[in-house]
A = this chain, B = another copy of it.
């Protein structure tokens, strides 16, 4: 079996028709949901691209792999999806974005050449690269932010789009009054991107995916990783015009959220993005564009599904649809992601397993508490590899697909390290303390901020929109204590004992018992027969001096 692991960037869990969106019709997402299981309580390990993805790709919490923000290199040697699957005989390919930054210092320290096979995989988060393109080819006064060239930009140039950065000038810009209207500016979100639709990012990556499928021999896992619907929020025609102001829901927010807001929440409400999304004119421009981007993703997903079906490959391809995090879109007075309200931290997670044992669950939903780190163990089971519980912190989702009721986690954890953001200075935190944790037990969601703050607490049963921070007033000490205990238990988890598997440890336990290396009270009394001979062998040349053993102290010890 092969695995098509498709990720969208910044796709909100509820912006799909199968998840109940009232206006956005996504028949192809829905088609996969009908073929498989839609997990309704799936969470990313960190609501920021880089950290979340490194958790997806390692099967480990952000605090475990350490790459806790965009641009923080994944330490050399950290086990990745590719390491696990390749060991189990499954090739592991990348088509699109990872946000991976290589640990160049660590590789140099270990003498690992970036252009060797091993070095290239280390640099690419364990993937073999079919095509890598992270999108966001931004530039500033000093030139491009990323020294790597974008294959997509090169493609655009080959298609006649001019300049050094047609990604910015065409794919992510419109036109207004005869000038470029950059998609970086929300004011331009209602304009069509200045590009032929078939040349825009999502169809381009889909083409690359179909190319891959047509030549691949299995078993393979392909990580198809779209840049959209991540901002810049601008989409080519006709998608720019499919949705309008009447499709923009009222923001889920309440004035009461701003009164006595948690200081960290307050600081994030004060950042630029949040300020922008607090304005209805921004939401009215951005959300239709965001929906158009998703609609384009859905159409392109349809191309992939049709292609697999036409090849007769649907019956041998597991398909996973997910996202690295959501998008506040103005809910809770915030934009983008960062914090732990559901629009930000909850992710879509749809899994189709073609095998007969998953027949009973097709078209169903599952409300188990799922984490992004569950995918690597899932894929490893599909690949037939030995579980690697000493490295992987997630759990295989396959039992749910088989309709079983496995013993499961009682809480999900997510983290956010904001040391690199302006909010670190706004709040006066050290780099070590500029960190947030979420623990959610399926009903109560607690946010803990390092640095001596009170927590935040929501009861999603009585307050599914998370508007009422219960920790602002007394009366929930017991719940808060319980969730803090759960977070503490997680903090003590065994995360770094990665060089010894359970089998290794069992073998060591057996060996030490068999060898009997513990010392013995009486000569030979507990010595295994095979050892007695060694211990009791004949004496060689004797070097013992004549000094008799004394029963009392010596003059040296007065």
Complexed CA–CA distance, A516 and B145 (Å): 12
Please name all residues of chain B whose beta carbon is closer than 8 Å to the beta carbon of A530 when the two chains form the complex: 140-141
Please name all residues of chain B whose beta carbon is closer than 8 Å to the beta carbon of A531 when the two chains form the complex: 140-141
Residue in chain B with minimal CB distance to A197: B545
Please name all residues of chain B whose beta carbon is closer than 8 Å to the beta carbon of A400 when the two chains form the complex: none
Residue in chain B with minimal CB distance to A101: B499
Q: Do A424 and B282 form a contact, CB below 8 Å, given A521-B187, A541-B161?
A: no
Complexed CA–CA distance, A73 and B496 (Å): 11
Please name all residues of chain B whose beta carbon is closer than 8 Å to the beta carbon of A112 when the two chains form the complex: 110-112
CB interface residues, A 475-533, toward B, < 8 Å: 484, 487-488, 490-500, 502, 505, 508-509, 512-524, 526, 528, 530-531
- Report if A255 contacts B (CB, 8 A): no
Among A437, A488, A497, A509, the one with the most B-chain Cβ atoms within 10 Å of its Cβ is A497
Complexed CA–CA distance, A109 and B126 (Å): 11
Q: Do A519 and B25 form a contact, CB below 8 Å, given A420-B509, A497-B68?
A: no
Q: Do A494 and B435 form a contact, CB below 8 Å, given A118-B111, A540-B161?
A: yes
Tell me if A110 and B76 are in contact (CB < 8 A).
yes
- Report if A309 contacts B (CB, 8 A): no
Task: Report, as a range, how many residues of chain A touch the other chain.
Answer: 35 or more
Tell me if A521 and B186 are in contact (CB < 8 A).
yes
CB interface residues, A 124-152, toward B, < 8 Å: 138-141, 145
- Report if A163 contacts B (CB, 8 A): yes
Q: Residue A185 contacts which of B244, B425, B523 (CB distance < 8 angstroms)?
A: B523
Please name all residues of chain B whose beta carbon is closer than 8 Å to the beta carbon of A404 when the two chains form the complex: none
Please name all residues of chain B whose beta carbon is closer than 8 Å to the beta carbon of A247 when the two chains form the complex: 553, 557
- Report if A549 contacts B (CB, 8 A): yes
Complexed CA–CA distance, A453 and B97 (Å): 46
Residue in chain B with minimal CB distance to A282: B521
Please name all residues of chain B whose beta carbon is closer than 8 Å to the beta carbon of A181 when the two chains form the complex: 523
Extra inter-chain contacts (6) besides given A67-B497, A185-B523, CB under 8 Å: A161-B540, A174-B544, A236-B543, A241-B548, A242-B556, A421-B509
Please name all residues of chain B whose beta carbon is closer than 8 Å to the beta carbon of A160 when the two chains form the complex: 541
Complexed CA–CA distance, A512 and B542 (Å): 75
Tell me if A180 and B422 are in contact (CB < 8 A).
no
Complexed CA–CA distance, A538 and B491 (Å): 54
Q: How many copies are assembled?
A: 2
Complexed CA–CA distance, A523 and B186 (Å): 8
- Report if A417 contacts B (CB, 8 A): yes
Please name all residues of chain B whose beta carbon is closer than 8 Å to the beta carbon of A528 when the two chains form the complex: 140-141
Tell me if A431 and B502 are in contact (CB < 8 A).
yes
Tell me if A77 and B74 are in contact (CB < 8 A).
no
- Report if A552 contacts B (CB, 8 A): yes
Complexed CA–CA distance, A82 and B161 (Å): 53
Tell me if A550 and B241 are in contact (CB < 8 A).
yes
Please name all residues of chain B whose beta carbon is closer than 8 Å to the beta carbon of A500 when the two chains form the complex: 72-73
Tell me if A110 and B105 are in contact (CB < 8 A).
no
Tell me if A244 and B552 are in contact (CB < 8 A).
yes
Please name all residues of chain B whose beta carbon is closer than 8 Å to the beta carbon of A512 when the two chains form the complex: 420-421
Complexed CA–CA distance, A508 and B180 (Å): 29
- Report if A238 contacts B (CB, 8 A): yes
Among A109, A118, A543, the one with the most B-chain Cβ atoms within 10 Å of its Cβ is A543
Tell me if A77 and B521 are in contact (CB < 8 A).
no
Please name all residues of chain B whose beta carbon is closer than 8 Å to the beta carbon of A180 when the two chains form the complex: 535-539
| Interface residue stretch chosen among A58-66, A320-328, A367-375, A377-385 | A58-66
Please name all residues of chain B whose beta carbon is closer than 8 Å to the beta carbon of A231 when the two chains form the complex: 519
